[in-house]
Amino acid sequence: MTQTSEPSTVDLSVFGEDTVARAQQLISRYPLSRSALLPMLHLVQSVEGHVSQAGIAFCAGQLDLTNAEVSAVATFYTMYKRRPCGEHLVSVCTNTLCAALGGDAIFAKLREHLGSEGKPLGQEETSGEPGTPGSITLEHAECLAACDLGPVLQVNYEFYDNQTPDKALELVTALQAGEKPAPTRGAPLTDFRQAELQLAGFFEGRESDLDGPSAAAETVRGARIAADNGWTAPSMSDDVAFPPLPEKK
């Protein structure tokens, strides 16, 4: 493979010693270093609010890859944003089931609300100056695996279940005003960048996030009905033995 010389003009100073240390820590988690690339892209996104050319060059440098190799990966995955994101990322599920239950109407309402001069906000566009308080990037998402709670949306990947256009509008208006309404399931809301740091695998000082709610009534519906009716799986007998060691063929 021909190694082309990388432009030397990319300024990596935004990635300080702590980021370098974290990048090295990521590499140490895997048998082969390149496996650290996906978490590392989340890491640079936590620093800059998107994956910039500098972010790509940083990952390439840490992993001894070319910028082209890292770019090829970064552009493949929808969670790596190529333009600066808002303080919050709002993702509305518009896959078939959520859409039929109101997801399309929610997305349309938010596009209209966050748009300007009569023009609705487009996919992955940002309302407000990216990164500043109250700025919001809006996207429609594919199935978010919460279909029993649809229509759903996420803010910075925390779940807001059983939404309606009005509830979603109220939520987004609150976010714009600097409030952080609690998710239905997930940790107390922070911002997009802090969520990305956790996706990179860094949770220090955030242990209490674990206690954020996770089980909606829908989640435990079957288990609850079974408990109420005294239904159980057949009981296990004590001292179940393993089968004998199979003979070698």
Question: Binding of another protein at residue 241 (CB under 8 A)?
Answer: yes
Question: Binding of another protein at residue 242 (CB under 8 A)?
Answer: yes
Task: Kindly indicate which of the ranges 13-21, 108-116, 151-159, 169-177 contains the residues binding another protein, using the contact rule CB under 8 A.
Answer: 151-159
Task: Kindly indicate which of the ranges 6-14, 114-122, 167-175, 229-237 contains the residues binding another protein, using the contact rule CB under 8 A.
Answer: 229-237
Q: Is 86 within 8 Å of 156 (Cβ atoms)? A: no
* The only residue of 23, 38, 57, 110 in contact with another protein, by rule CB under 8 A: 38
Feature table: binding site: 93, 98, 143, 147
Task: Kindly indicate which of the ranges 9-17, 89-97, 128-136, 173-181 contains the residues binding another protein, using the contact rule CB under 8 A.
Answer: 89-97
Question: Binding of another protein at residue 15 (CB under 8 A)?
Answer: no
**Binding to another protein (CB under 8 A): which residues in 64-83?**
72-73, 76-80
* The only residue of 32, 117, 118, 204 in contact with another protein, by rule CB under 8 A: 32
Q: Which residues contact 17 (CB under 8 A, 6 or more apart)?
A: none
Q: How far apart are CA 185 and CA 212, in angstroms?
A: 7
- Judged by CB, which is closer to another protein: 14, or 223? 223
Question: Binding of another protein at residue 203 (CB under 8 A)?
Answer: yes
Question: Binding of another protein at residue 205 (CB under 8 A)?
Answer: no
Instruction: Give the sign of the dihedral formed by CA 77, CA 23, CA 199, CA 139.
Output: negative
Shortest Å distance, C-beta 108 to another protein? 14
- Judged by CB, which is closer to another protein: 116, or 188? 188
Question: Binding of another protein at residue 149 (CB under 8 A)?
Answer: yes
Q: Is 169 within 8 Å of 120 (Cβ atoms)? A: no
**Binding to another protein (CB under 8 A): which residues in 157-186?**
157-159, 185-186
Tell me if residue 151 falls in helix, strand or coil: coil
Closest CA to 163 of 89, 91, 85, 113: 91
Q: Is 200 within 8 Å of 26 (Cβ atoms)? A: yes
Q: How far apart are CA 142 and CA 9, in angstroms?
A: 37
Task: Kindly indicate which of the ranges 12-20, 112-120, 130-138, 196-204 contains the residues binding another protein, using the contact rule CB under 8 A.
Answer: 196-204
For 166-212, the DSSP string reads HHHHHHHHHHHTT--PPPSBSSPP--HHHHHHHHTT--TT-GGGGGS
